[in-house]
């Protein structure tokens, strides 16, 4: 009897070991996530993915597994993320529509898994010149980083003011170089994210434009993407990552977490009071809505049209084939968040 029981125990142990090995083989050893990094010390994100990282929402999904998460914040913004994806250095990435559309058109095998929310775009000018609005940019030098969602933001703002890009001189500069150029007076204005706002606090610039003042379609937009190879090879891991991102979006939607979010984003080097000011009048629940709804799709179609207009892409991008909503839909259902965000429709200006 003892020999029989011993044999049964060994068989049970062997079966459990095989199950553990099989489970481990269903998950990758490392998951690599990329995001746009601001800051000039240690870069960090200022959006949804940074919250998912800092609060451990994705890490929690992998508790009890040997999976390691690697988070990289790229100061080269979208173009640097495209390069990393092209070199097989990332499994997931969160960045603006303009560069990820470029990447897709050039053959990057990515899938759109969720919206990354919105990016508030600011226009600032030197304090010694009279620029009260976008219309006053005519004949001026404006710094941006081209081929980014900020580039889209500038062109959209010019069109709304009755101008075209031919009415201004666009100077292509990275974020840190924009700050130096404004301070030195070599450009008249710059368009960017809230990293520009400390210049106003120092008296080196003044804000004349804020995209969120323009309504639902004013802010920059982008997506959280996964590579096709990873999502096909590791659907369980992909679901866990998307679950973590959705939990981060839900957490951001609660007003009591607002100040905590600002402290997290301040790791990128922008003071909390500046981030607070940048988000005045904005609902973080609405801003970081992860859904792939009609508004998201309409804005992405406008992004594809912008990239073609700017001759940033030549090949067509099939948005319907690019979007993969399976994991997001499963997350919203399992977390009972189908009705958490307000239903949205595309503004008339974005409808065909």
CATH number at residue 136: 3.40.190.10
Q: Kindly state whether residues 53 and 177 are assigned to the same domain.
A: no
Question: Which residue in 145, 137, 119, 134 sits closest to 35, CA to CA?
Answer: 119
Q: What is the per-residue pLDDT for 216?
A: 63
Is 272 a domain residue?
Answer: yes
Q: What is the per-residue pLDDT for 22?
A: 36
Is 155 a domain residue?
Answer: yes
Q: What is the per-residue pLDDT for 143?
A: 97
Q: What is the per-residue pLDDT for 42?
A: 81
Q: Kindly state whether residues 227 and 296 are assigned to the same domain.
A: yes
Is 24 a domain residue?
Answer: no
Number of domains within the chain: 2
Q: Kindly state whether residues 206 and 259 are assigned to the same domain.
A: no
| pLDDT tens-place string over residues 179-219 | 889 989 999 999 998 889 988 988 999 999 999 988 767 89
Both tokens assigned to 112: 């759109």
Domain containing 182 equals 122-214
Q: Kindly state whether residues 92 and 240 are assigned to the same domain.
A: yes
Is 57 a domain residue?
Answer: yes
Q: Kindly state whether residues 317 and 202 are assigned to the same domain.
A: no
Is 340 a domain residue?
Answer: no
Last residue of a domain, one of 184, 214, 244: 214
Q: Kindly state whether residues 172 and 210 are assigned to the same domain.
A: yes
Q: Kindly state whether residues 189 and 49 are assigned to the same domain.
A: no
Q: Kindly state whether residues 107 and 138 are assigned to the same domain.
A: no
Is 9 a domain residue?
Answer: no
How much is the pTM?
Answer: 0.88
Q: Which is it for strands 110-119 and 220-227: parallel, antiparallel or unpaired?
A: antiparallel
Ranges of the chain whose pLDDT falls below 50: 1-2, 4-24
Per the CB < 8 A criterion, the answer to whether 115 and 252 are in contact is no
Sign for the pseudo-dihedral over CA of 140, 143, 144, 147: positive
Question: Does residue 210 sit in helix, strand or coil?
Answer: strand
DSSP state of 136: G
Q: Kindly state whether residues 90 and 234 are assigned to the same domain.
A: yes
Q: What is the per-residue pLDDT for 346?
A: 79
Question: Which residue in 200, 335, 194, 157 sits closest to 272, CA to CA?
Answer: 194
Last residue of a domain, one of 214, 240, 262: 214
Distance in angstroms (rounded) separating the CA atoms of residues 20 and 22:
5
Please give the C-alpha separations between residue 282 and each of 140, 158, 285, 300, in angstroms, as whole numbers: 30, 23, 9, 22
């Amino acid at each position: 009897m003892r020999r029989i029981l011993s044999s049964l125990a060994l068989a049970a142990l062997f079966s459990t070991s095989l199950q553990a090995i099989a489970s481990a083989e269903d998950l990758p050893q490392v998951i690599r996530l990329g995001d746009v990094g601001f800051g000039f010390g240690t870069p960090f994100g200022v959006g949804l993915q940074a919250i998912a990282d800092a609060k451990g929402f994705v890490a929690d999904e992998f508790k009890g597994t040997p999976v390691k998460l690697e988070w990289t914040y790229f100061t080269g913004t979208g173009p640097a993320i495209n390069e990393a994806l092209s070199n097989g250095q990332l499994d997931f990435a969160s960045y603006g529509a303009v560069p990820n559309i470029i990447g897709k058109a050039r053959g990057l095998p990515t899938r759109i898994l969720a919206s990354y929310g919105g990016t508030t775009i600011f226009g600032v000018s030197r304090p010694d010149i009279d620029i009260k609005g976008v219309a006053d940019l005519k004949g001026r030098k404006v710094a941006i980083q081209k081929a980014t969602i900020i580039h889209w933001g500038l062109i959209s703002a010019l069109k709304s003011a009755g101008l075209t890009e031919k009415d201004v001189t666009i100077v292509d500069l990275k974020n840190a170089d924009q700050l130096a150029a404004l301070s030195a007076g070599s450009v008249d204005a710059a368009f960017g994210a809230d990293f520009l706002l400390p210049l106003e606090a120092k008296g080196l610039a003044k804000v004349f434009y804020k995209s969120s003042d323009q309504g639902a379609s004013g802010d920059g937009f982008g997506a959280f993407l996964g590579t096709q190879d990873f999502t096909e090879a590791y659907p369980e891991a992909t679901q866990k990552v998307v679950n973590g991102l959705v939990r981060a979006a839900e957490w951001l939607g609660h007003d009591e977490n607002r100040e905590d979010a600002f402290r997290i984003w301040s790791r990128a080097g922008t003071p909390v009071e500046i981030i607070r000011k940048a988000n005045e009048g904005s609902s973080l629940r609405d801003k970081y809505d992860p859904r792939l709804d009609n508004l998201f799709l309409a804005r992405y179609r406008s992004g594809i049209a912008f990239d073609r207009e700017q001759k940033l892409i030549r090949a067509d991008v099939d948005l319907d084939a690019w979007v993969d909503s399976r994991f997001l839909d499963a997350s919203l259902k399992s977390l009972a968040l189908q009705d958490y965000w307000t239903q949205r429709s595309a503004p008339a200006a974005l409808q065909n």
